[in-house]
Structure 1
Amino acid sequence: MTATVVSWDDFKSQTTRLIDQARADHASILFRGHSSSDWDLQTTLERSTHSDSVEDHYGMVLRIKSEIEAFTGLKWSDDADVDYPKIQRICSTYEDFSMRFSRQAPPHYAYMSYLRHHGFPSPLLDWSTSRFVAAFFAFRAHPIADNVAIFAYRERDKSGMKVGGNDVPSIRVCGPYVSGPRRHFAQRSQYTVCTMWSDGGPYFLSHNDVCKPFDPKKDFQQDIIFKFELPSSEREKVMTELEDYGLNAYGLFGSEEGLMESLSLREEFSDI
């Protein structure tokens, strides 16, 4: 997926138009930032060696759930009745799977969002409704590439329609209404999950297999991606502006590590 390199100011003006158009169409835009423009839209599950089978993944995360609850003191009671045998039944036919996964958030959504925010390989791809939060994640680290990337995702075009089937991969947007960790709300998080029915069962797929760049010549589009590449050399300018908005690692993570990162950045850019 190619993109033209734009300045920070051009990014803000172009995304303002995207957001305004989406609102006019009663749609929304999600944003995601990458420290390198070479990186694809990959989940942490894709970057791991764990199985991409939906059934296998739920078997794994439900198997370790009691250990996490014991260590953290947290309890996830949502979907308590959806145990592994029920997951197996849901995954046994396309109709059952489609009914449960396409019409509502995936089972154990709150628990899954916790795992995503705390480093366990997850099929959830995390986004923010804020382009500035996405910019923070793109620019937070010392430059590792000439350009960073910020992706904008729009699920539906102005028609408001979305089509699918059992032989094509499908992306589901999981909304913000979940009892997630504090950082879920601070980062204005939403998530997408990509699945496909194949070889008699459901699998998690890459978003790259589904998302397509906006094409102004097409009458109907879905899962539209806009990719913006920005020079890493603008890091100081961007991070200084974001700090003025109160966007920093401590505010977004609420942890000691976030505080240390925020203090380090303040010292790095002495004019912040």
Structure 2
Amino acid sequence: MEIVGPVTWREYIEFIRVELDLFTKTKKEAGPLEYFSSTLFRGQADELWDLDTSLERFLRSEGLSGEGLFDAYSYYEILDSIIPSINSYVDKTFDRIILSDLEIHGRMQSLPHYELMCYARHHGFPSPLLDWTQSFYIAAYFAYSNAKAERNSAVYMLREWNGEARGGWVGDPLIVGMGHYVTAPKRHFAQQSEYTYCGKWVDEKLVFCSHEDADRLTSSEQVMKKIILDHRSRGEALNELSMMNINDFTLYGDENSLMRALAFEKIVRRGVGR
């Protein structure tokens, strides 16, 4: 993984624009057999944080972390077990998962029951899905808005397919995109979200693993970069993003996020207490 920075807010925007212009040029010049996926971004409040899914964070917090702890079938077995509770307590009706019908074999592909996985993840159930956004501005907002004072944050940039067919060794971890189109909570669309998972084959089982492990592919197969954001640009960036109407309320849309957005607008931007 290429690491860039620390960069200022202006340098970040220029870097991304150059990257996207190069991507557009490369696509235009590509041959008919070359495939390119869209460029995704993920903002994180601390440059030292890894690309952890909520499942990885949950297992680690419970002292259950360990590589290969969860294969896909085991996860779907657990997911199926919570469906009766979901259907009983909330206004949702999900069909039970018929485990014998799951088609998870032979190749890395999008996972089934995507809507259920998004719903469970949205409401706090540990998930192997990692959320990204199509907007580098929204990613920067997530990175800067939750950052601690004097701590650099980071934006990750991912292009799952970058022209050539993805190679690597058999059993190497691969990142797989799930796509944008799914029935999901409103904030999924406000945040221009897409999800990925990272997996590898172990004894003919698909096992979830860390996105950080999928770094053996060349830049002509997959692009993953980490842009470190200088904490000294936080105020400038958040002010500019606010003027673009990118704030907690427009991205989350609930009453709590409205209060956070108002606090920033009425206290932080006005410099109260300075």
TM class by smaller structure? 0.7 to 0.9
- Change in 2 beyond 3 A, CA 1:128/1:142: closer
1:258-269 aligned within 5 A? 258-269=257-268
Q: Give the AA of the match of 1:85.
A: S
- Say if 2:71 is the partner of 1:56: no
- Say if 2:187 is the partner of 1:183: yes
Task: Give the drift of 1:119.
Answer: 2.0
Deviates more, 1:126-135 or 1:248-257: 248-257
Aligned to 2:31: none
Which structure 1 residue ranges, 4+ long, deviate > 6 Å from structure 2? none
1:97-246 aligned within 5 A? 98=107, 102=109, 105-143=110-148, 146-157=151-162, 159-163=163-167, 166-211=170-215, 221-246=220-245
Task: Give the drift of 1:70.
Answer: 2.9
Distance 1:61 1:176 in 2: 21
Q: Percent identity, please.
A: 31
Is contact 1:211–1:224 with CA below 8 Å preserved after alignment? no
Distance 1:9 1:240 in 2: 13
- Say if 2:20 is the partner of 1:19: yes
- Change in 2 beyond 3 A, CA 1:230/1:117: same
**Cα deviation digits, residues 222-257 of structure 1 (max 9, x gap):** 332111111223222111111111111111111112
2:41 partner SS: strand
Is contact 1:31–1:130 with CA below 8 Å preserved after alignment? yes
- Change in 2 beyond 3 A, CA 1:163/1:190: same
Aligned to 2:42: 32
- Provide structure 2 residue ranges, at least 5 long, that are not aligned to the other structure: 28-35
- Change in 2 beyond 3 A, CA 1:72/1:25: farther
Task: Give the drift of 1:184.
Answer: 0.6
Q: Give the AA of the match of 1:83.
A: I
Q: Paired residue for 2:87, among 69, 74, 85? A: 69
- Say if 2:256 is the partner of 1:257: yes
2:196 partner SS: strand
Distance 2:84 2:99 in 1: 13
Is contact 1:5–1:230 with CA below 8 Å preserved after alignment? yes
Is contact 2:154–2:226 with CA below 8 Å preserved after alignment? yes
- Provide structure 1 residue ranges, at least 5 long, that are not aligned to the other structure: none
Distance 1:56 1:127 in 2: 25
- Change in 2 beyond 3 A, CA 1:69/1:232: farther
2:47 partner SS: coil
- Say if 2:274 is the partner of 1:270: no
Q: Give the AA of the match of 2:76.
A: Y
Aligned to 1:3: 4
Distance 2:89 2:256 in 1: 19
Is contact 1:37–1:145 with CA below 8 Å preserved after alignment? no
**Cα deviation digits, residues 135-181 of structure 1 (max 9, x gap):** 11101125155210011111222x34323675222211111011111
2:182 partner SS: coil
For these two proteins, the number of residue pairs brought into alignment is 253
The two structures have a TM-score, normalised by structure 2, of 0.84
Task: Give the drift of 1:212.
Answer: 5.7
Distance 1:203 1:29 in 2: 25
1:123 partner SS: coil
- Change in 2 beyond 3 A, CA 1:12/1:44: same
2:49 partner SS: coil
Q: Paired residue for 2:100, among 85, 106, 118? A: 85
2:180 partner SS: coil
Deviates more, 1:22-31 or 1:253-262: 22-31
The two structures have a TM-score, normalised by structure 1, of 0.84
Distance 2:73 2:187 in 1: 28
- Change in 2 beyond 3 A, CA 1:160/1:81: farther
